[in-house]
Amino acid sequence: MPGPLYHVANTTTCIHGGKVMTVPSGPRVFVNGIDPVATASDVFAIVGCVFTTPATGPHPCITATWPVPALRLTSMGRPLLLDGSVGMTQAADMAPQGLPLTSVNQPRAVGT
């Protein structure tokens, strides 16, 4: 599914309001002249998640993964992420917490 390229300056949160911070693993492709695009192998740390459960107490999202990246676009052999790429946030025990919410800040670079 075509969509704008996901990059490190995107505004992305977990469903509980935590901010997803993208740490690029080897930026080679940039959009807007300065923002590296994200690849499936980048690190996506989540800060500020306030999710708690009645039984166990705090159970915040700490990481996000994108198991369904772009099909045809790569950078240094790593698949790029698109706005439509399906992601998942996870707690420290790797329990799935929900889908990340993304707002793409650039509409011009599009891929499939």
7: amino acid identity, one letter: H
User: Residues 38-59: pLDDT tens digits?
Assistant: 899 999 999 999 999 888 889 9
Query: Domain span at residue 53?
Result: 3-103
Residue 111, in any domain of the structure: no
Residue 110 lies in a domain: no
In a domain, 29, yes or no: yes
pLDDT digits (tens, 9 = 90+) for 80-91: 888 888 899 999
The confidence band for 1, taking pLDDT boundaries of 50, 70 and 90, is low
SS3 labels along 14-52: CCCCCEEEEECCCCCCEECCCEEECECCCEEEEECCCCE
- Number of structural domains found in the chain: 1
Residue 28 located in a structural domain: yes
End-to-end CA distance of the chain: 6
Q: What is the pLDDT of residues 94-111, one digit of tens each?
A: 999 999 998 866 766 666
Residue 74 domain-assigned (yes or no): yes
Query: Is residue 47 situated within a structural domain?
Result: yes
What pTM was estimated for this model as a whole? Answer: 0.85
Indicate whether 108 belongs to any domain.
no
The vertex-63 CA angle with 46 and 28, nearest 5°, equals 90
pLDDT of residue 108: 67
Q: Is residue 23 part of a domain?
A: yes
